[in-house]
Amino acid sequence: MKGPTMFRWKATAALAVAAALVLTGCSGGGSGSEGSGSADRLTLTAIASPTSYDIAAGAEYGNRSPFFQAVFDTLLQKDSKGEIQPWLATAWEYNDDKTVLTLTLKDGVKFTDGTPVDAEAVVASMERFRDGTSPQAATLAGKEFAAVDATTVTITQAAPDPSLINLLSIAPGLIEAPSSFGNADVATNPIGSGPYILDTASSVTGTTYNYTANPDYWNKDAVKYQNLTINVLEDPTATLNAIRAGEANGAKIADNNTISEVEGAGWTIESNELDFQGLLLLDRAGTMAPELADVKVRQAINMAFDREALLQSLQSGYGTVTEQVFPKTSVAYDESLDSTYPYDPAAAKKLLADAGYPNGFTLNMMSTPAFQQTFDLVAQQLSDIGITVNYTDPGTGNFITDMLAPKYPATWMALEQNPDWQLINFMIAPDATFNPFKYEDPKVDALISTIQTGSQAESDTAVKELNKYMVDQAWFAPFFRVQGTFATDANTNLEFWPTNAYPSIFDFSPKN
C-alpha cells in the first residue's frame, strides 16, 4: 500500500562521527571580482581544522578548503558557478591522445618567502603531493611532471584522465614552496603564493587561524579583506551562539535543524547539494549475500523506501530526493530517473517473490550509534517488504575500514556526488574505492572506456547511458541529496559555488 510513512524519530547527527563517516571527493576553487582591500576583517567559522599545512601530508578541500585556499594558489581555479578558470596556469592544452597536458604558468609570481613560482617549483610541489599521504595523493598516481622551461609544465599520463583539469583546481593543484619542504615547522607554518599569510603568533592550532593579506599577491583585485580569521567550531550549538553574538561574518551550518534560528538572527542562508545518503548495495555478485545478485532484489530494495518521508524525518526537508548517484551538475543527470522506483512496498514484495524470496531474507549491515535513527528507519522500511536487517556495530573507527574490507554486503552511507570521472573511480569502476567487491559488468566497463578515451560528444553520451544503467540495475539505493548550508551576516555577500562543501574565500565580499 502506497502512502506516507509515519516516522517516530528526527535525526541530528553527531558532528564528529559525521566527519568520520561522510566521504567526500572534495571539489573546489573560486575567482574574485573587482575591488581590493575594501574591508578590514572577514571572520568565518569552520567545522574541521587542517590536519597539516604540509600539502603532501594533509591537503584537503571540502570543509578544510579555506585554510589551504588562504595560503596556497592552485594551478587552475573555479569561479562561483563551478567553472574552471585560469589561475597560476594561464593556459592549458592536451596533445591529440590526451596523455600529455601542457600548462603555461603566469610569469613573475613569487612565494611569500620570495622564491619564484616557476615550472621547477610547480613540478617539485606536484611530485611531492603525488608521493605523499594526503587523502587525494592517489589521484596523481602514475603521472609524471616536467619543467620544459621556466613557465611551461607538462603532465604525462599513461592513459587519459578526464578528471585531471578539475583536480588541478582543488587539493592536487595546490602549489607549495619547495624551499619549505625541509622546514621543521612545515606542518604549521605554510609558505605558498596565496592571497593571505598565516599569522602563526596569534593563531592557535586546531582552534583559531588568523591571516593577513599578502602584500605582494599577484591578483590584488581578488582580495576583499585585509585580514581573515577562521575559527573552528565543531559543535553546532557553539556555531549558533557565535552567530547570535555577532562573532562571525560567515558560518558553516552543520545542523540544518538550526536554520530557522540562524535566519531569526538576521542571517542569510546560502546552500548547495553535494552529498547523497542512501544504501550502497555492494555485493552485486552475491558472494556474501546471494540475494543481492538478482537485480529484482536490488530494485525491490529501492521501492521499499519512502524517500520524501525520510528526507523530512532525517533532514527536516532540507535536501532533494534522488535515485541517482550522479549530481545535477553532471551531463549524466536525468530528472526522469528520480521517479524510477516509487515507494511501493506491495510491488517490492512481488519483486522479491519473483526473485524466489516470497518470505524475504536476512541482510547483514553495519550501524553506528550516532546515526541510530537513520539505521532504525532503514530497518523499519526494509522489514515492511520482508527483509530483516541484522545490524552489527563495528565501532566508529572501524566503520569505513570494515566496509572496504569488505565485511558487509550492503551499508548505509553518505558520499559526495563528485564530477563524473572522479565519481566513476570513487564508486563504480572495478578498482573504485567504494566498489570493495571489485564487481565488474561488461557493459559498464565498455562505457567507462568510452568516457575515458572518446570524444567529448561520445563521452557525454556514454556517461548518460552509464547513469541510466546504474539506476536500472539498482547498483545503489540513494534516498536524497542533503542541503549543504552556509550562512552570512547582514554585512557580507556570498556566492556559494555548487562544487564544494565550503565556499571559496574569493567569493565573500563586504556589502557597501
116-158: pLDDT as tens digits = 999 999 999 999 999 999 988 989 999 999 999 999 999 999 9
Q: At residue 20, does pLDDT exceed 80?
A: no
Place of cell 546552500: 271
Q: Is the pLDDT of residue 16 over 50?
A: no
Whether a cis peptide bond, with omega within 30° of 0, leads into 406 is: yes
350-380 pLDDT tens trace: 999 999 999 999 999 999 997 899 999 999 9
Give residue 23's pLDDT band: very low, low, confident or very high (50, 70, 90). Answer: low
Q: Quote the pLDDT of residue 135.
A: 85
**What pLDDT is recorded for position 88?**
98
Mean pLDDT to the nearest integer, 288-296: 98
C-alpha to C-alpha distance for 281 and 288, rounded to whole angstroms: 12
pLDDT above 90: residue 197: yes
**Is the pLDDT confidence value at 28 over 60?**
no
**CA pair distance 349, 301, nearest whole angstrom:** 9
Q: Report the percent of the chain where pLDDT is more than 70.
A: 93
- pLDDT of residue 326 exceeding 60, the answer is yes
Q: Which residues pair with 476 in a beta bridge?
A: 280
Burial zone of 511 (CB within 10 Å; 0-12 exposed, 13-18 middle, 19+ buried): exposed
Please determine, for residue 13, whether its predicted confidence score (pLDDT) is greater than 50: no
Question: Rounded distance, CA 418 to CA 163, Å?
Answer: 10
Residue 293 to residue 288: CA distance in whole angstroms:
10
**pTM above threshold 0.85:** yes
What average pLDDT does this structure show over 288-302? 98
Across the beta sheet with 100-105, what order do the strands follow?
89-94, 100-105, 152-156, 144-149
Q: Closest Cα partner for 247 from 225, 269, 230, 227?
A: 230
Q: Are 26 and 61 in contact (CB under 8 A)?
A: yes
Q: Which amino acid is at 274?
A: L
Q: What is the dihedral of CA 345, 350, 356, 360, to 10 degrees?
A: 20
Strands 84-86, 76-78: pairing is antiparallel
Is the pLDDT assigned to residue 82 strictly greater than 60? Answer: yes
Asked if residue 5 has pLDDT above 70, the reply is no
Q: Is pLDDT of 198 > 70?
A: yes
Radius of gyration of the CA atoms of the chain, in A: 23
The 8-class DSSP code of residue 106 comes to: P
pLDDT score recorded for residue 370: 79
What average pLDDT does this structure show over 274-290? 97
**Between 465 and 14, residue with greater pLDDT:** 465
Taken in order of first residue, the domains within the chain and their CATH numbers are 31-267+489-510 (3.40.190.10), 275-481 (3.10.105.10)
Task: Report the Cα 17 to chain-centroid distance in Å.
Answer: 16
